[in-house]
Amino acid sequence: MSSKAYTKLLSVSTAVIAVILVSQLFIQSSIPENTPIKDNGNYYISAINIPQKLKFAGEEVPIQRYDVKESLDRELLVNTYWQSQTLLFIKRANRYFPVMEPILKKYGIPDDLKYLAVIESGLEPKAQSPAGAVGLWQFMKETGREYGLEVNNEVDERFHAEKATIAACIYLKKMHDHYESWALAAAAYNAGRAGINRQLEKQKTDNYYDLVLGEETGRYVFRIMALKEILSQPEKYGFHVDKKDMYPEVKHITLDIKEGITSIADFASDYNTTYKEIKNLNPWLRSTELTNTSKKTYTIKLPVVSEKQLNKNEDKNIEKTDSTQQES
């Protein structure tokens, strides 16, 4: 067989195998609840049942309105049938929601607002937008500083899961105090308070659902609602994820430091771990060093394997202190 003929045969065979694999993917895909199935068992695309009643952050959603219903329908369809992305959301939520939930509760923010972080970053802690927003809550640099986050070349607390969640809570609480509506507060998180105020004034309304907004902000709150629906009851929408497949909490210990770190790679080695692991646990460390000229106390997360070395170092410090006291 000539090389050209062989190459052609190989290409055709590869194409046939690809078609078979793709067809099997659709045949084996999980089907949203109440989705009809053809007699031969093949899966096909179907509409999704829209909830007859719905609340967002404790507020009634006027789901009987055709425009509201259709806006929610769009987001339910997009997020149900974009299976790979939504599966990642479900898996990541198992890791990051337990971090966010107690903070939201402490600051009096409805639990539903945790889904805002899902649409902002996909629960990817290192997410960065083309506009410069970063982290789980996608803060811009100046907004992050305004709400208490340290942002410089070495430390960027917009990437700090706990501290950025606190900043988001403060922002959302401020917006809710202004609008007395969580839907408008969420919209302002996306478009900014000035932008929402401008549209409320122009359109002479105080109701999010009566506003005509741009594509992104107009879909924003409905995307939050849709992801709440899907992630809070995934099996209803055809997502079956075993507990073993969820992304678990990364267990860690913490170390408070007041001095600088001249080399994070050497620091990692000192604690029996790697530069990469330190960066994964502390994505807010943005450089290869931490000068800390202000002698601020930073809490560094370390992997559990570092605990033995941490205890050794603490014992050394105790011995050094005791020795110094005896000499004096």
CB 100 within 8 A of CB 165: yes
Q: What percentage of the chain carries pLDDT values higher than 90?
A: 79
Q: How far is CA 169 from CA 109, 205, 270, in A?
A: 6, 26, 36
- Residue 252, CA atoms < 13 Å, CB-side half-sphere: 18
- Give all domains of the chain, ordered by start, each with its CATH number: 55-245 (1.10.530.10), 252-327 (no CATH)
Mean pLDDT of the chain: 87
Burial of 7 (0-12, 13-18, 19+ CB in 10 A): exposed
| pTM greater than 0.85 | no
Helices (H), the chain: 3-28, 66-81, 83-106, 114-121, 141-146, 161-179, 182-191, 193-203, 215-232, 264-270, 275-281, 307-327
| Confidence band of 29 (pLDDT split at 50, 70, 90) | very low
Judged against a pLDDT cut of 80, whether residue 34 lies above it is answered with no
pLDDT digit string (tens) for 60-92? Answer: 999 999 999 999 999 999 999 999 999 999 999
